[in-house]
C-alpha cells in the first residue's frame, strides 16, 4: 500500500469513518484545536492520555509539549494543517504511530511526511512520518467552511503555472531540478481530473473531497521521490511570497495562490481563460476583493516581482523572461475585483 499512496500507509474513507477510530489504539494523545475537538471528542472512542491544543508551531513550544507528553502508543491528529503538523512532529520524535484525521482539506499537511515548524521566524520542514491510517471522513470535513475546503485546489491548480515555469527554466538552461518531462505530463493529468470533478468540488460532495485528496496523493507520488515540488510551485507562489512579505499578514494559502495563477498564467500566455474558468467552476475565491488586497499593493508587488525573485534567489521562471510593465499591470488588473 505504501507504494500506491507514497507516504500514506493506509487510508480509511467514507461518511462517519472517524467514529470509533481511537477505540483500538492503545494509549493515545490527541493534537487538535478547539472546534475540531468539540466535533470529534465524543465520537472517536476511547479516552486520550493527553489532549494538546495547538496554538503555535514554534519549535520551542513543540519541544515543551514533547517533554510533557506522557508515554503513548499513538498520536491522533484532528484538525487542519497545524494540528496535523504538530502531531507529526511529536510522533516522529517519539517514534510512534500517527493517525491523521483532517477536518478540512485546505492544505496538504495530512499527506506530506514532514512538519512545518517555525524557528527564528523561518519555517523548516522536519521529520518523516506516515499516517496509518489517514482518515477521510466526508461528513466531518464538510463541517469546515466551504471556501476553506475549496481552497485545497489552489496548490493543485498551481501545476498549470508551475510546470510551465519549470519548462521555461529548462529551456533557458537555468533549471536546478533535473527537468523531467514525464513528471510534467503526470502532473498535468491531475489538472484534467480536477476539471472533470469541478462541480463536485464546488459542492464539496464526497467525490469532490476525494478528488482533492487523491490529487494531493498523486502529486506526492511525483514529488516526494524527487525531493522537490517544482511541478506545483512556480511564479504563482513567488507572487504570494512577495505579497506576504509586503503586507505582513497571513492568507488562506490556496486562495492567494489562485490569484497568482490568474496573473502568472497571463504573463506566461499559458491558456489563462481555461485555468481562470476552472478556478471559477470549482468556486475558488481568488479575487483581491475577497483577499482584501488593495490595487496599489498588488501593482507594487507585481512591479517588484522580478527583483524580489532574484534577491530571494527563487527558481528561474517566466518572471525573468517577461517584463511586467506598468501597461501590463493596467491591462491585467482591469478585470479583477478590488476592495471598495
Ligand atoms: Zn503552496
Q: Which of 284, 278, 251, 267 is nearest to 333 (CA)?
A: 267
Q: Are the beta carbons of 23 and 45 closer than 8 angstroms?
A: yes
Q: Are the beta carbons of 89 and 31 closer than 8 angstroms?
A: no
User: Distance from the CA of 315 to the center of ligand 1, in angstroms?
Assistant: 15
By mean pLDDT, which of 46-50, 90-94, 123-127, 269-273 is the weakest? 123-127
User: Distance from the CA of 111 to the center of ligand 1, in angstroms?
Assistant: 14
Instruction: Answer whether residue 5 shows pLDDT above 70.
Output: no
pLDDT digits (tens, 9 = 90+) for 37-81: 999 999 999 899 999 999 999 999 999 999 999 999 999 999 999
Q: Are the beta carbons of 179 and 170 closer than 8 angstroms?
A: yes
Residue 109 pLDDT class (50, 70, 90 cuts): confident
The half-sphere exposure of 50 on its side-chain side, counting CA atoms within 13 A, is 18
pLDDT digits (tens, 9 = 90+) for 132-187: 999 999 999 999 999 999 999 999 999 999 999 999 999 999 999 999 999 999 99
Instruction: Answer whether residue 4 shows pLDDT above 60.
Output: no
Helices 295-311 and 326-333: crossing angle in degrees, nearest 10, is: 130
The pLDDT assigned to 320 comes to 97
Instruction: Answer whether residue 25 shows pLDDT above 80.
Output: yes
User: Distance from the CA of 232 to the center of ligand 1, in angstroms?
Assistant: 7
User: Distance from the CA of 158 to the center of ligand 1, in angstroms?
Assistant: 8
pLDDT digits (tens, 9 = 90+) for 269-315: 999 999 999 999 999 999 999 999 999 999 999 999 999 999 999 99
Helices 159-171 and 253-267: crossing angle in degrees, nearest 10, is: 50
User: Distance from the CA of 155 to the center of ligand 1, in angstroms?
Assistant: 5
User: Distance from the CA of 255 to the center of ligand 1, in angstroms?
Assistant: 10
The pLDDT assigned to 121 comes to 82
Residue 6 pLDDT class (50, 70, 90 cuts): low
pLDDT digits (tens, 9 = 90+) for 213-261: 999 999 999 998 888 899 999 999 999 999 999 999 999 999 999 999 9
* Average per-residue pLDDT for the chain: 95
Residue 9 pLDDT class (50, 70, 90 cuts): confident
User: Distance from the CA of 43 to the center of ligand 1, in angstroms?
Assistant: 32
Q: What is the largest CA-CA distance in the chain?
A: 63
User: Distance from the CA of 286 to the center of ligand 1, in angstroms?
Assistant: 14
The pLDDT assigned to 268 comes to 98
Whole-model pTM: value is 0.94
Residue with cell 520524535: 93
User: Distance from the CA of 327 to the center of ligand 1, in angstroms?
Assistant: 29
User: Distance from the CA of 233 to the center of ligand 1, in angstroms?
Assistant: 7
Instruction: Answer whether residue 82 shows pLDDT above 80.
Output: yes
Helices (H), the chain: 34-40, 59-68, 81-94, 138-141, 146-151, 154-157, 159-171, 181-196, 198-202, 206-223, 235-247, 253-267, 272-282, 288-291, 295-311, 318-321, 326-333
User: Distance from the CA of 321 to the center of ligand 1, in angstroms?
Assistant: 23
Amino acid at each position: 500500500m505504501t507504494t500506491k499512496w507514497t507516504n500514506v500507509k493506509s487510508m480509511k474513507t467514507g461518511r462517519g469513518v472517524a467514529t470509533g477510530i481511537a477505540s483500538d489504539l492503545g494509549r493515545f494523545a490527541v493534537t487538535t484545536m478547539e472546534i475540531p475537538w468539540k466535533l470529534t471528542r465524543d465520537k472517536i472512542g476511547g479516552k486520550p492520555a493527553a489532549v494538546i491544543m495547538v496554538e503555535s508551531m514554534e519549535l520551542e513550544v513543540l519541544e515543551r509539549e514533547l517533554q510533557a507528553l506522557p508515554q503513548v502508543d499513538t498520536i491522533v491528529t484532528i484538525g487542519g494543517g497545524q494540528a496535523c503538523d504538530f502531531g507529526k512532529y511529536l510522533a516522529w520524535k517519539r517514534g510512534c504511530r500517527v493517525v491523521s484525521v483532517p477536518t478540512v482539506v485546505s492544505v496538504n499537511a495530512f499527506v506530506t511526511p514532514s512538519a512545518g515548524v517555525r524557528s527564528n521566524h523561518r519555517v523548516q520542514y522536519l521529520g518523516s512520518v506516515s499516517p496509518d491510517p489517514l482518515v477521510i471522513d466526508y461528513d466531518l470535513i464538510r463541517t469546515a467552511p466551504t471556501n476553506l475546503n475549496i481552497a485545497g485546489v489552489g496548490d493543485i491548480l498551481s501545476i498549470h503555472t508551475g510546470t510551465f515555469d519549470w519548462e521555461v527554466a529548462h529551456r533557458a538552461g537555468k533549471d536546478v531540478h533535473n527537468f523531467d518531462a514525464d513528471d510534467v505530463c503526470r502532473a498535468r493529468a491531475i489538472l484534467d481530473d480536477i476539471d472533470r470533478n469541478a462541480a463536485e468540488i464546488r459542492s464539496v460532495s464526497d467525490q469532490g473531497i476525494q478528488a482533492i485528496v487523491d490529487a494531493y496523493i498523486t502529486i506526492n507520488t511525483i514529488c516526494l521521490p524527487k525531493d522537490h515540488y517544482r511541478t506545483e510551485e512556480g511564479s504563482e507562489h513567488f507572487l504570494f511570497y512577495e505579497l506576504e512579505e509586503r503586507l505582513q499578514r497571513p492568507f488562506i494559502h490556496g486562495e492567494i495562490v489562485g490569484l497568482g495563477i490568474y496573473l502568472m498564467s497571463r504573463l506566461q500566455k499559458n491558456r489563462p481563460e481555461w485555468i481562470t474558468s476552472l478556478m471559477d467552476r470549482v468556486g475558488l475565491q481568488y479575487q483581491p476583493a475577497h483577499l482584501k488586497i488593495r490595487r496599489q499593493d498588488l501593482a507594487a508587488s507585481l512591479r517588484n516581482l522580478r527583483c524580489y525573485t532574484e534577491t530571494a534567489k527563487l527558481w528561474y521562471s517566466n518572471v525573468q523572461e517577461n517584463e511586467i510593465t506598468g501597461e501590463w499591470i493596467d491591462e491585467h488588473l482591469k478585470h479583477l475585483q478590488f476592495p471598495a
